Amino acid sequence: MYMKQLLLFAIATMLTAQAQAVTSDRFIFDFLEQSQRTLNVTNEKRAATGKRLYCEALNNEQILLIAATASVPDITVAQFTEAVSNDLKCYPVFFPPLGRKGVTGTLLNTKAYVMDVMLIQDILKWMNNGKMPHADTPLLQSYDPDFFKQFEN
């Protein structure tokens, strides 16, 4: 009898976990929505202090990069952050032809990469109630999608 109850509990737990799982489409939608909020707030703060601004909004290329990366099965928070920040280019690159290749490219353009990493981390933190998800956390388990309900009208 005990084994039967344990088996039923295990099945119920698996079904519940699957029902609460976030799809990559849902994550992408929420991430892009939060990206715009974060860009607005961050650029407002940076403009007030006379600092260089991020892009005003993500372009189609950036959106496709995020969508393609988030759709990779079992990708972790660290892998997503690294892959997206390498090519996001939301913070202006000082000298685009060099990228981050060689000593000169690294010296001139690393700030843009670091700023993009910080932007992605800010978005992920915000989606996780102000806490940065652990680097090894699977991306689709890194936030609570119900958190966004407070912003719906």
> From first to last of its 153 residues, what are the pLDDT tens digits of the chain?
444 544 444 454 444 444 446 899 999 999 999 999 999 999 999 999 999 999 999 999 999 999 999 999 999 999 999 999 989 999 988 766 666 666 766 677 788 889 999 999 999 999 998 899 999 999 999 998 877 666 665
Number of domains in the chain: 1
Q: Which two tokens stand for residue 120?
A: 């992605």
Is 120 part of a structural domain of the chain?
Answer: yes
> What pLDDT shows up at residue 107?
72
- Rounded to 5°, angle at Cα 50 from 48 and 53: 90
d(C-alpha 13, C-alpha 65), whole Å: 34
Distance CA 79, CA 21 (A): 19
How far apart CA 127 and CA 46 sit, in angstroms, is 21
Q: Provide the pLDDT for residue 128.
A: 92
The pLDDT of residue 105 is 64
Query: Which domain covers residue 79, as residue numbers?
Result: 23-131
Residue 65 CA to residue 30 CA, distance in Å, equals: 15
Name the nearest CA neighbour of 119 among 28, 11, 31.
31
8 Å CB contact between 104 and 98: yes
Q: Are 58 and 28 in contact (CB under 8 A)?
A: no
Place of tokens 């690159």: 93
- pTM beyond cutoff 0.85: no
Residue 119 lies in a domain: yes
Q: Residue 13 and residue 108: Cα distance in Å, rounded?
A: 51
| Cβ atoms of residues 46 and 52 within 8 Å | yes
